[in-house]
C-alpha cells in the first residue's frame, strides 16, 4: 500500500493536458485522422469584408471533412477596406454570424478581426450587439432542441469567442466580459522579436494560439512558461493539416 503513495502524490500534482483546438483555414482539409484524438476544430466559415458603406460576404469554398465525433464550430473573419463602419454594417455582420450559427448547428462562434485604433469602438459595439441578439434569440428557443448544441463547457448559452493580437494583452482596450473566450495569438508577430514575447505574455493567458512552424517563438514560449500555463491551445498550421503535422504540433507541446 505504501508503495502507491509516491504515484498518487505525483498524480495529484500533474497538470492536466491542455484542451487542443485546430484552426482549419481555407484549404481543402481532410481531418479524418482526428477520429480517435482529443481535439476540437475551429473551421473557417467565410470572410465578411466591409468596404465603403457595404458588406460583402465570401463563404468558405474549399472542401472540409471532419469526423462526426469531433466537436467543431465556425470562425467568421472580418476585414475592412476604407469602411464607413456604420450601424447598418454592424447589423449586416451580426446577421451573417447568426446565419452561420444556424447553418452549423453549433452554439459557439469565433470572430477573427484586426482592429486599427479608430476601428475599436465599432468592434466593441458589434460584439455587444451580437451578444444581445444571441441572448434574445435564446429566450425564444423551445425548451428542447432537435439536436444537441455544441457549447463551451462552462456555459449554458450561445457563446462568442474572438481572436486577440498579442499587443492587445497590454493595452486592455477589450473589456474582459466582452466575449466568452479570447484567444491570444502568439504567432506571425511581425516586427516583434523573441525578447518581446515576455512583455506580451506576462499575463500568461489561459487561452492562446500558436503557429506550428515557428520553432524559435514556441521555444521562447516554453521558456516563459506560457505554454504550460495555458488551459486551451489553438494550433494554426501554414498548410492543410495532416496526421504528421498534427503529431508535430503535439510534440511541440510535449514536455513544455
* Dihedral sign (CA 75, 194, 17, 29): positive
* Residue 154 confidence (pLDDT): 46
DSSP assignment letter at 104 = H
Give the total residue count for the chain.
256
Dump pLDDT digits (tens) for 111-170: 999 999 999 999 999 999 999 999 988 776 655 554 445 555 445 678 999 999 888 877
78, β-bridge pairs: 48, 113
Q: At what angle do helices 120-140 and 87-104 cross, to 10 degrees?
A: 50
Determine the Cα–Cα distance for residues 231 and 91; give it in Å rounded to an integer: 33
17-192: what CATH class? alpha beta
* Pairing of β 54-59 and β 40-52: antiparallel
* Residue 77 confidence (pLDDT): 98
* Residue 136 confidence (pLDDT): 87
* Residue 2 confidence (pLDDT): 45
* Residue 120 confidence (pLDDT): 96
* Residue 121 confidence (pLDDT): 97
- Per domain, the residue ranges of the chain are 17-192
* Residue 193 confidence (pLDDT): 61
Residue given cell 493539416 in the structure block: 241
Cβ burial of 12 (10 Å; 0-12, 13-18, 19+) is exposed
Q: In terms of Cα–Cα distance, which of 205, 206, 213, 202 is closest to 236?
A: 213
Residues in the chain where the model's pLDDT stays below 50: 1-3, 5-13, 146-148, 153-154
Amino acid at each position: 500500500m505504501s508503495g502507491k503513495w509516491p504515484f498518487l502524490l505525483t498524480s495529484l500534482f500533474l497538470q492536466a493536458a491542455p484542451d487542443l483546438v485546430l484552426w482549419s483555414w481555407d484549404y481543402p482539409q481532410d481531418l479524418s485522422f482526428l477520429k480517435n484524438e482529443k481535439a476540437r476544430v475551429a473551421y473557417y466559415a467565410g470572410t465578411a469584408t466591409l468596404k465603403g458603406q457595404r458588406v460583402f460576404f465570401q463563404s468558405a469554398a474549399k472542401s472540409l471533412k471532419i469526423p462526426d465525433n469531433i466537436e467543431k464550430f465556425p470562425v467568421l473573419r472580418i476585414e475592412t477596406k476604407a469602411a464607413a463602419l456604420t450601424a447598418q454594417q454592424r447589423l449586416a455582420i451580426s446577421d451573417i454570424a447568426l446565419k452561420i450559427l444556424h447553418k452549423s448547428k453549433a452554439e459557439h462562434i469565433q470572430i477573427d478581426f484586426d482592429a486599427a485604433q479608430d476601428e475599436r469602438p465599432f468592434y466593441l459595439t458589434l460584439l455587444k450587439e451580437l451578444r444581445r441578439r444571441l441572448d434574445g434569440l435564446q429566450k425564444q428557443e423551445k425548451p428542447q432542441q432537435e439536436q444537441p448544441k455544441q457549447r463551451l463547457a462552462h456555459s449554458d448559452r450561445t457563446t462568442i469567442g474572438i481572436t486577440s493580437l498579442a499587443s492587445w494583452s497590454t493595452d486592455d482596450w477589450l473589456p474582459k466580459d466582452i466575449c466568452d473566450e479570447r484567444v491570444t495569438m502568439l504567432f506571425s508577430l511581425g516586427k516583434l522579436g523573441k525578447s518581446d514575447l515576455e512583455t506580451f505574455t506576462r499575463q500568461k493567458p489561459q487561452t492562446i494560439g500558436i503557429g506550428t512552424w515557428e520553432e524559435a517563438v514556441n521555444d521562447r514560449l516554453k521558456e516563459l512558461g506560457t505554454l504550460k500555463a495555458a488551459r486551451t491551445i489553438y494550433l494554426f498550421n501554414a498548410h492543410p493539416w495532416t496526421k504528421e503535422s498534427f503529431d508535430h504540433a503535439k510534440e511541440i507541446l510535449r514536455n513544455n
